[in-house]
Chains A and B, each alone.
Chain A
Amino acid sequence: MEFWFNEMHTQNVQMSIRVERQLFSGESDFQRIDVFDSPEFGRFLASDGSVIFSEKDEFTYDEMIVHVPMAVHPNVKRVLVIGGGDGGVARELSHYEEIESIDVVEPDKLFVDVCREFFPANACGLDDPRVSVYYQDGLRFLRSKQDYYDLIINDSTDPLGHTAGLFTKEFYGSCYKALHDDGIMVYQHGSPFYDEDEAPCRAMHKKAYRSFPISRVYQAHIPTCPAGYWLFGFASKKYRPLENFDRERWEARGIKTWYYTANLHVGAFMLPKYVEDLLEEEENR
């Protein structure tokens, strides 16, 4: 039997993953969620037909969105994770002892329940006693928060789907307000490669660049993302991602990683020319 999962990366490009079996399919008010087992990527979760993460490559993403800001900010106590209901980001954060609280705000309870059942290696991150999970809309949660967090991680992946509100000027503005004067926000920056992904990618940088005094972009290779190539945004009120990067301090922690290294931290901010160009265009617009 041939059993394939297809995801349209553009109108003209699709990614196919051979599937062994489907473990779950369900629909919430926000999205349709499917879970599959596959020979190449292991178990993976799809939202509305797009891969959100797989066992094989989720470490890249969770490590890059957590360790980069944590190796820059000298004193993170309060962290807010928007989205992140799978627990992978919380799991990476739990390596840091100085963190006092991790608020995970995920609108969709079904998503958390499914991850708990099918992805215990990620969801264990939610069991850290410092983690509180709020089933709420991210924008709504942020509205009442002012000068409160040291780090905000926007772990929502889709700027066009049900999390579109988390890639907007109002979201970046709300994050700015919710952060301390030396706070950092990191966020999913999408993939710049295909034509139809380029516009949202540009728009994100334009908004973040105008909302924060420091706004830089870094990259990673994630096979299940469109073109296998993914960007992250680093928006900050005070600390610069390279100038304030404390290599010795981070290495002394001895955190076991599979993707992130101190060398890679620096390298990840070195972008291809076409990406540099499109970001620069948005800055000068």
Chain B
Amino acid sequence: MDLEQQKRAPIYEALDSFRKQRVVPFDVPGHKRGRGNPELVALLGEKCVGIDVNSMKPLDNLCHPVSVIKAAEELAADAFGAAHCFFMVSGTTSSVQSMILSVCKKGDKIILPRNVHKSAINALVLCGAVPVYVDPRVDPKLGIPLGMEMDDVTAAIEENPDAVAVLVNNPTYYGVCSNLKAIVGLAHAHGMKALVDEAHGTHLYFGDQLPVSAMEAGADMAAVSMHKSGGSLTQSSLLLLGPNVNARYVDKIVNLTQTTSASYLLMSSLDISRRNLALRGEASFQRVSEMAQYAREEINEVGGYYAYGRELVNGNSIYDYDVTKLSVYTRDIGLAGIEVYDLLRDEYDIQIEFGDISNILAYISIGDRIQDIERLVGALADIRRLYEKEPSELFLAEYISPIVAATPQDAFYADKESLPIREATGRICSEFVMCYPPGIPILAPGEVVTKEIVDYILYAQSKGSSMQGPEDPDIRYLNVLKGGAR
């Protein structure tokens, strides 16, 4: 990485000089630097609306970058050790989908863990590729999905030698990492591309104490959520390419669905966040790791909770652990993670990232201060004091492996009917069901609805999980394929 070059921020600099030129706008956006929408200015401030401008010669164009956006993307590629980088403005969803659409055509097989984000399966609906799922191992106590085990990946590759790619979710939401280097090596040895959903791993590029990043592991493509740990604005993301990917083809794929009015707020936020990470990222994430470690120790000191860390590493399904994550197992105090999540927000004014059946995840980042960590720990201690129960009555969290009966695309577009959820058992589902966050599907289009899955959905719902996906927002009904029981 060329540190001297990294001090530049081409998009930001171009916006700054553009602002000073005081150009009279007879182009979109119609708010004209906010003048036409004073309420928007009151909300966002003059500076913000002043740089909400359209693509034009001095500011380049994301659809076909030739000047400042190109330079910014090259700097980002250099900072992340990639051969090429795309600035993405439709979230990491667009990065993940571009990866899959770039390597899969209709009927192609792609190997991926079942606990992928819905964006990956949505990409299969779009392109008609066939998923080959590797069931993630589940930690029997914590109930969290773990990484991909090498044996499982090897078996999937050998059983499906015609698959075109392997997608790895690394690190997971919970901070679990697979043996990325080995999986990439195995995929390449079988002529498959290695794709990494690195939505939760921007920081892995900045710190040698952290697990290996996708580009360092030799992956072909990686989707990086700059807006998560990288500090850029929500919805901005990066798509990184390794040296053996045709960037021109990926560019066409990206432009299939990308807006032609990319926001300069998002792009400049990517640009200055990249600069910040390149110049100060390592020190920042060292501090984040220390804060998370401090929080883990203090939470474990409170008792009743288990804030886990590197001790989970087992060399396979938990090949490495991202210590910047703060995941806490809550069931020993008799409360589901989602219940603790709700208490923290409703009673203590603390918003954490998510709660599942057994765990909560608090997102620690470069914006945190130690006094806020004290609040979180203090609130957890107080929740234990006031709300602790006997742990017996809780559902045993288990991973339910899906039965894939149709491709996501076929199921999505097939003729369907709506059935009460209990009566849907045995039928092929045509829609997603997921708890949000984390947005990992319990059911995906093309999968068989089983009694076990229905029980789990109703239980998670009763514990207060926000369920999304089905046409019926209350999930009393499910859409299934017509044509009777399977």
Contacts of A30 in B (CB 8 A): 371
| B298 A140 Cβ-Cβ under 8 A | yes
| B347 A143 Cβ-Cβ under 8 A | no
Contact among A139, A169, A173 for B374, CB-based, below 8 A? A139
| A140 B377 Cβ-Cβ under 8 A | yes
| A137 B382 Cβ-Cβ under 8 A | no
| B348 A168 Cβ-Cβ under 8 A | yes
Contacts of A142 in B (CB 8 A): 378
B357-377 vs A, CB cutoff 8 Å, 1 = contact: the mask equals 000000000000111101101
Q: For the complex, is B252 an interface residue (Cβ under 8 Å from A)?
A: no
Q: For the complex, is A232 an interface residue (Cβ under 8 Å from B)?
A: no
Given A162-B371, A165-B372, A168-B348: A139 touches B378 (CB 8 Å cut-off): yes
| B298 A170 Cβ-Cβ under 8 A | no
| B371 A173 Cβ-Cβ under 8 A | no
Given A139-B375, A139-B377, A140-B298: A173 touches B386 (CB 8 Å cut-off): yes
Q: For the complex, is A234 an interface residue (Cβ under 8 Å from B)?
A: no
Who on chain A is nearest to B380 by CB?
A170
| B374 A140 Cβ-Cβ under 8 A | yes
User: Which residue, A142, A163, A173, has most C-beta atoms of chain B within 10 A?
Assistant: A173
Who on chain B is nearest to A142 by CB?
B378
Q: For the complex, is A47 an interface residue (Cβ under 8 Å from B)?
A: no
Q: For the complex, is B247 an interface residue (Cβ under 8 Å from A)?
A: no
| B374 A174 Cβ-Cβ under 8 A | no
Contacts of B386 in A (CB 8 A): 173
| A174 B378 Cβ-Cβ under 8 A | yes
| B382 A170 Cβ-Cβ under 8 A | yes
Q: For the complex, is A240 an interface residue (Cβ under 8 Å from B)?
A: no
Contacts of B369 in A (CB 8 A): 162
Q: For the complex, is B482 an interface residue (Cβ under 8 Å from A)?
A: no
Q: Within the assembled complex, what's the spacing in Å between the Cα atoms of A60 and B369?
A: 33
| B371 A170 Cβ-Cβ under 8 A | no
Q: For the complex, is A171 an interface residue (Cβ under 8 Å from B)?
A: yes
Contacts of B371 in A (CB 8 A): 30, 107, 137, 139, 162-165
- Interfacial residues of chain A within 160-200, with CB under 8 A of chain B in the complex: 162-165, 168-171, 173-174, 177
Main secondary structure of the interface of B (DSSP, over half): helix
Q: For the complex, is B379 an interface residue (Cβ under 8 Å from A)?
A: yes
| A165 B378 Cβ-Cβ under 8 A | yes
| B348 A143 Cβ-Cβ under 8 A | no
Q: Within the assembled complex, what's the spacing in Å between the Cα atoms of A162 and B374?
A: 12
| A143 B385 Cβ-Cβ under 8 A | no
Contacts of A139 in B (CB 8 A): 371, 374-375, 377-378
Q: Within the assembled complex, what's the spacing in Å between the Cα atoms of A64 and B438?
A: 50
From residue B24, how far is it (CB to closest CB) to chain A in Å?
Answer: 32
Contacts of A164 in B (CB 8 A): 371, 375
| A165 B382 Cβ-Cβ under 8 A | no
Contact among B301, B348, B372 for A169, CB-based, below 8 A? B348
Q: Within the assembled complex, what's the spacing in Å between the Cα atoms of A256 and B386?
A: 42
| A174 B375 Cβ-Cβ under 8 A | no
Contacts of A165 in B (CB 8 A): 371-372, 374-375, 378
Contacts of B372 in A (CB 8 A): 165
From residue B207, how far is it (CB to closest CB) to chain A in Å?
Answer: 22
Q: For the complex, is B349 an interface residue (Cβ under 8 Å from A)?
A: yes
Given A139-B375, A165-B375: A170 touches B381 (CB 8 Å cut-off): yes
Q: Within the assembled complex, what's the spacing in Å between the Cα atoms of A267 and B301?
A: 45
| A169 B379 Cβ-Cβ under 8 A | yes
28 pairs across A/B with beta carbons < 8 Å?
Answer: A30-B371, A107-B371, A137-B370, A139-B374, A139-B375, A139-B377, A140-B374, A140-B377, A140-B378, A143-B298, A143-B301, A143-B302, A162-B371, A164-B375, A165-B372, A165-B374, A168-B348, A168-B375, A169-B347, A170-B348, A170-B378, A170-B379, A171-B378, A174-B378, A174-B381, A174-B382, A177-B382, A177-B385
B contact residues vs A (CB 8 Å cutoff): 298, 301-302, 347-349, 369-372, 374-375, 377-379, 381-382, 385-386
A contact residues vs B (CB 8 Å cutoff): 30, 107, 137, 139-140, 142-143, 162-165, 168-171, 173-174, 177
List 15 other contacts, CB 8 Å, given A168-B348, A169-B379. A30-B371, A137-B370, A139-B371, A139-B377, A139-B378, A140-B374, A140-B377, A143-B377, A164-B371, A165-B372, A169-B349, A170-B348, A170-B382, A171-B378, A177-B385
